[in-house]
Structure 1
Amino acid sequence: MGARLSFAGVFTNWGVATAIVVAGISLSAAQPSFPSPPSDAPTIDFPVPKPGATPGPTKSGAPSIDPRPPTESRPGRPEGQGVPTTLPRSVNIQLKVERDGRLTVIEQVIVQAKNTMTRVAPLRIGDRVFAVRDATVDGNGTAEATADTFTIKLGEGASTVKYTVDGAVADFGDHVQVRWQVANGWDTKLVFLRASLLTPKPGNDFVCLAGQSGTEDPCDSALIDSSGVLRVVQSDLDSGARVDLSATLPAGLVPANARFENVKAGAFALTPVSGAALGLLALLLLGGFGALWVARGRDTKAAAADVEPVEVLVTEGGRVVFASPDGVLPGQAGTVIDEVVDARDLTATVIDLAVRNYLWITESGEDWQVVRRNPADYALTDYERAVYQALLPEGTESVTVSALRSAPPNTADARSAIHADSVARGWLSRTPAKLRLAGAVLAVVGVAATVVLALTVGHALAGVALVIGGIALAVGARFLPARTKRGALLVQQVRGVHGYLKSVPPESVPAADRELVFSRSLPYAVALEEAEQWLSRFAALDVAADGTPGLYWYGTQDDAYDQARFAERFHALIDSVDGVFGKR
């Protein structure tokens, strides 16, 4: 109900009085073992109008009930057939608003034999704070009040509890309001409760609610007698339920003493600020998912499209030579295909440097020696120079593969350079990497913001939204294709090269040009995992057909070149160089 009740009038009598009487008779008859109260048991004066008096006004049109207490006989009922005031687990309550704004309360509680009853009443209801003082118990029990709760513990028999409530009167400008929960926090069901509220002058707009906190069910009966006293009757009040009573009095009749405290919502409570942050997060997640769906769909469609024929063999100066599409190099082809610079891309670059006469590779027992043949000039790309420098630093003329495996070169610069080169050519985008970094930063900022908000102004869910958004951004970026539209087109062309490697017959190339075509195509076969098929297809290659013995870029230990032995040793060379680059 909150502190600002706004109900008008008195709840109507729902005909419950008759049911209460019948229930009381049944309960009284069903429990003959309940002891009668001692002769000195305390009682409460429950004011009764004089005989013949007319009940006072109630809510317009509402019926009224006979205000006589249920201990008296009713017309047509034999003497003694009313509801007994000594019914076990019943409470009689008398409330009085004093001239100085205090609310004095007297409660008579009847506890069943061999049982106890405990009431733990909260003194903070919503943003309203009450205080209880001067609590005493006449009978079998104790009463204690703290800043947060008022606790009554009673043993069997009849006990009278007296206390004073501060904070029951609130100022609403043109009137004041008296409010108190006359019953709440009991650990047992109350069979019967009745209460009276006496004010300096008759009040109005009485409101009485019964039931669990938050419900708005009216009390069984709440009406005003001819003297302006509000009388409340309630039966069968569940354990922990409350009877919340309020009344409106004229402004200035008694001083207001209500105290209100803004209850700070939990740091992780849903507030307008945090709700807006979570709503924005939901919109961004939906938008990001849509963008990711479109990007991946475009990339998948490009990869699944039919491969157009790619002409990689061209005639220059009367000779047939290999020419890659869009000038893509072996290392670049592998990188654009899987969007990652891996060891095989660097290995293919080493073979390509040898094929293009920058390096010489020769067998040395079970090892290989890589020899500087021509300096790394500006005809090479930045990443090719980085690979060259990693293998043969300045001042080094040759190195064995076994030595490289023992002390692997640092290839970080080469990997960065090949990726940067693909980005510069418009094949790949840095967007996914930037988004991953942005997501990680956003998540860290979100964690810090969550802690700060939780310890200060609240709205910590706004910080949580940042954390979730950052994580989602970082994870989503991993699934975002790095290839651009031009990169997707290049993939189609590289797939065409792959088809060429798998299908071109050696006989279609003039014998004098086969060694060069075989050699220039070999690095692409390495990058695209087709080296074995390529070597098998050119198993009958005559390397002397160009007028020079052996391969022009690879030296063997045998005087006579053997293509089958070369294929076997070449596979071992590739695995060894992969091992060099795979370690760093």
Structure 2
Amino acid sequence: MSRMPESAQKHRRTPLFSAAVLKNWGAAVLGVAALCLFAGTASAQPSSPGGLPGTVGADVRLKLERDGKLTVTEVVSVPEGRTAKRVVPLRIAVSDTRDRVFEVDGASVSGKGTAEASGDQLTIALEAGTSTVTYSVVGAVAKIGDTLELRWQPASGWDTALDSVKVSVITPDAPRSVNCLAGPPGTSKPCTTADLGDGRGVRASEIGLPAGERVDVAVGLQEGAAPANARIEETSGLAAAFALTPVAGVGLGGLAVLLLGGVVLLWYLRGRDQRALASDVGPVNVLVTDPSGHVAFASPDGVLPGQVGTVVDEHVDVVDVTATIVDLAVRNYLWIEEVGGLDWRFVRRNPADPSLSGYERAVYSALLPDGVDAVLLSELRGKRIDLGRVRDELYADVVAKNWFARRPDAERSLWWWAGIGLALAGVALTVLLALVTGPALVGLVVVVAGVALALGARWMPARTRRGSVLLEHVRGLRGYLVSATPGDIPETDRELVFSRSLPYAVVLGETERWLGAFAGDRSGLYWFGEAEQAGDLRRFAHRFPAFLGALDGVLAQAGHLRSLRA
């Protein structure tokens, strides 16, 4: 018999009902029967997200809304006779000093169990059976460089192992990428599977997640898919202590209210003075005629020269004392004589009597103490004149006259020290809160409030209504000093009116104009001259500014008072 070619043998067909074929079909039938029996047995067992009976499994569905809120639905199956508890951290460390903080609300359970979000964690406790947990998350969307990213841990903090975790993510626009990590916190082990699915969402899964481990899903989003709402907080160091927290925000708001209240109060108290200074005031009629027909000078509200300066600038200045000394000479308590063209002597004429105010007696005693009837101005340069009593008495006078409710210097001092004390307390509070990583910004708020209070102390003294009225009258008095001429005063009364007006011209800075207006008059002066001889007014107008300058210099050396001329 001839041999069949190899090619023919290769293509030779086996008969359909040969013994070998029947043997193979029998094996196949038996396999199918066994598979059907197994499927029937499996279908008789209860189903679960884990896929295996007697295990815990989770099917987690995440849906990102356009407003940035993440809606979470967890379907969890717990076997009979068992419980499962999950504690979800809502504060996750992103560095050694920074935490990412999530906010969860609307937590609820459909089934046997509870869900509660409080503090920095979400707690889910489930009993046997299949339960559906729902909640929403704010803070899951962050801007990472140029990429917008959604991040959440669909499984973490379970006190029991999960047989499987299935995750699906739906985003407003097609996601750009997915990164799924599984294992202990901090590890970078990838999940069992993670992919973009059909391009409209993300699917991920993890098989066998031990208790305490987590599944962390990060999904890259299209630009504009949702607003970034991630919140990062400092956890340690100075940056955390000085972070703008709600507590610090309340403190800043309180400071703003306090400062606004202070501004309103100052506006109210100072408003009268501003209106008095801004209004148009004509010359005040300070010239009065007595029944005998003589013209005399009368100051508004009986204010004395030294009091004028204190009411105007709320300070006792050297010029206030200088004007008072001139006024004492004009009222015949002193005689002032020029000695050798370079010095001046003060001579006692009449003793201090009850008609003098307290501060005038203090000035008189400082200039001519008991037992001293005359003193040269040059001699006063070498003496220590104590003007502290003058200052105290003058401040007390303006309060007694009801031009101020309290002493202006005491008011300034009170608020200044209160501000300094508040600022120091703020510094101590800032240091303390910074050490315990508390809201140290609150301490800085207190410091700023204290400094503002100390700086604002200079504006705290406020005149009474009567003081504001006097301030307006003083403006009218200045108008009189600027506009009056010798022709306005009868010749017989001119020397007295000129002299009585001069101390007010000194304190209000109108000396040069007042002397210039009357320098051409030939009448003498009854209180200033040489060796108690009435001085010539023309010579007096030439020498008097030098006298004022020398007297200011001596008084300024005494200290206690400001040397600024009003």
Superposition TM-score tier, normalisation by shorter sequence: 0.5 to 0.7
Tell whether 2:419 aligns with 1:436: no
CA distances 1:477-528 after superposition (whole Å, capped 9, x unpaired): 4345633332221122112222222222323323222221111111111111
Q: Given residue 332 of structure 2, which amino acid in structure 1 is its aligned partner?
A: N
Q: Indicate conservation of the 8 Å contact 1:359/1:372, yes or no.
A: yes
Q: Given residue 278 of structure 1, which amino acid in structure 2 is its aligned partner?
A: L
Alignment of 1:330-479 (within 5 A): 330-365=305-340, 366-429=342-405, 430=408, 431-456=411-436, 458-479=438-459
1:580: which partner in 2?
554
CA distances 1:364-397 after superposition (whole Å, capped 9, x unpaired): 1120011222222222222112222222233332
Helix, strand or coil: the match of 1:369?
strand
Q: Indicate conservation of the 8 Å contact 1:208/1:222, yes or no.
A: no
1:118: which partner in 2?
none
Change in 2 beyond 3 A, CA 1:222/1:492: closer
Q: Indicate conservation of the 8 Å contact 1:208/1:245, yes or no.
A: no
Question: Out of 244, 247, 253, which is 1:270 matched to?
Answer: 244
Which is richer in helix? Answer: 2
Q: Given residue 536 of structure 1, which amino acid in structure 2 is its aligned partner?
A: G
1:219: which partner in 2?
178
Q: TM-score, normalised by structure 2?
A: 0.58
Q: Indicate conservation of the 8 Å contact 1:278/1:462, yes or no.
A: yes
1:529: which partner in 2?
509
1:143: which partner in 2?
none
CA distances 1:122-142 after superposition (whole Å, capped 9, x unpaired): 6898499xxxxxxxxxxxxxx
Change in 2 beyond 3 A, CA 1:220/1:531: closer
Q: Indicate conservation of the 8 Å contact 1:386/1:414, yes or no.
A: yes
CA distances 1:389-415 after superposition (whole Å, capped 9, x unpaired): 222233332221112234352323322
Tell whether 2:463 aligns with 1:489: no
CA distances 1:65-102 after superposition (whole Å, capped 9, x unpaired): xxxxxxxxxxxxxxxxxxxxxxxxxxxxxxxxxxxxxx
Helix, strand or coil: the match of 2:337?
strand
2:89: which partner in 1?
none
2 CA distance for matches of 1:516 and 1:291?
45
- Using the TM superposition, give the Cα deviation of residue 256 of structure 1 relative to its aligned residue in structure 2, in angstroms: 9.4
1 CA distance for matches of 2:433 and 2:382?
53
Change in 2 beyond 3 A, CA 1:234/1:582: farther
Q: Given residue 542 of structure 2, which amino acid in structure 1 is its aligned partner?
A: E
Q: Given residue 528 of structure 1, which amino acid in structure 2 is its aligned partner?
A: L
2 CA distance for matches of 1:245 and 1:362?
110
Tell whether 2:291 aligns with 1:310: no
Percent identity, aligned pairs only?
Answer: 48
2:274: which partner in 1?
300
2:483: which partner in 1?
503
Tell whether 2:163 aligns with 1:202: yes
2 CA distance for matches of 1:125 and 1:527?
65
Q: Given residue 374 of structure 2, which amino acid in structure 1 is its aligned partner?
A: S
2 CA distance for matches of 1:572 and 1:369?
14
Q: Given residue 309 of structure 2, which amino acid in structure 1 is its aligned partner?
A: G
- Using the TM superposition, give the Cα deviation of residue 564 of structure 1 relative to its aligned residue in structure 2, in angstroms: 1.3
2 CA distance for matches of 1:124 and 1:568?
78
Q: Given residue 347 of structure 2, which amino acid in structure 1 is its aligned partner?
A: V
Change in 2 beyond 3 A, CA 1:493/1:305: same
2 CA distance for matches of 1:508 and 1:124?
84
Change in 2 beyond 3 A, CA 1:541/1:248: farther
1:231: which partner in 2?
192
Q: Given residue 354 of structure 1, which amino acid in structure 2 is its aligned partner?
A: A
Tell whether 2:526 aligns with 1:552: yes
Q: Given residue 378 of structure 2, which amino acid in structure 1 is its aligned partner?
A: S
2 CA distance for matches of 1:245 and 1:274?
43
Change in 2 beyond 3 A, CA 1:520/1:247: farther
Q: Indicate conservation of the 8 Å contact 1:303/1:492, yes or no.
A: yes
1 CA distance for matches of 2:260 and 2:305?
39
Change in 2 beyond 3 A, CA 1:171/1:497: closer
CA distances 1:34-85 after superposition (whole Å, capped 9, x unpaired): xxxxxxxxxxxxxxxxxxxxx98785899xxxxxxxxxxxxxxxxxxxxxxx
Q: Indicate conservation of the 8 Å contact 1:302/1:492, yes or no.
A: yes
1:83: which partner in 2?
none
2 CA distance for matches of 1:275 and 1:247?
47
2 CA distance for matches of 1:288 and 1:375?
48
2 CA distance for matches of 1:478 and 1:325?
27
Helix, strand or coil: the match of 1:357?
coil
CA distances 1:306-360 after superposition (whole Å, capped 9, x unpaired): 2144221122352322111100001111222223322111110110011112222
Change in 2 beyond 3 A, CA 1:205/1:290: farther
2 CA distance for matches of 1:286 and 1:246?
59
Question: Out of 290, 295, 301, which is 2:264 matched to?
Answer: 290
1 CA distance for matches of 2:297 and 2:364?
23
Helix, strand or coil: the match of 2:513?
helix
Q: Given residue 259 of structure 2, which amino acid in structure 1 is its aligned partner?
A: L
Helix, strand or coil: the match of 1:553?
strand
Q: Which runs of 5+ in 2 are unaligned?
A: 1-48, 52-57, 63-93, 102-121, 128-155, 183-189, 197-203, 215-233, 560-566
1:520: which partner in 2?
500
Change in 2 beyond 3 A, CA 1:466/1:56: closer
Change in 2 beyond 3 A, CA 1:234/1:574: farther
Q: Given residue 443 of structure 2, which amino acid in structure 1 is its aligned partner?
A: G
2 CA distance for matches of 1:538 and 1:300?
33
Q: Given residue 399 of structure 1, which amino acid in structure 2 is its aligned partner?
A: V
1 CA distance for matches of 2:459 and 2:425?
23
Q: Given residue 219 of structure 1, which amino acid in structure 2 is its aligned partner?
A: V
2:295: which partner in 1?
320
Change in 2 beyond 3 A, CA 1:123/1:369: closer
Q: Which runs of 5+ in 1 are unaligned?
A: 1-54, 63-120, 129-169, 176-196, 210-215, 224-228, 236-243, 544-549
- Using the TM superposition, give the Cα deviation of residue 202 of structure 1 relative to its aligned residue in structure 2, in angstroms: 1.0
2 CA distance for matches of 1:397 and 1:556?
17
Q: Indicate conservation of the 8 Å contact 1:522/1:534, yes or no.
A: yes
Q: Indicate conservation of the 8 Å contact 2:525/2:536, yes or no.
A: no
1 CA distance for matches of 2:506 and 2:98?
77
Q: TM-score, normalised by structure 1?
A: 0.57
Q: Given residue 524 of structure 1, which amino acid in structure 2 is its aligned partner?
A: Y
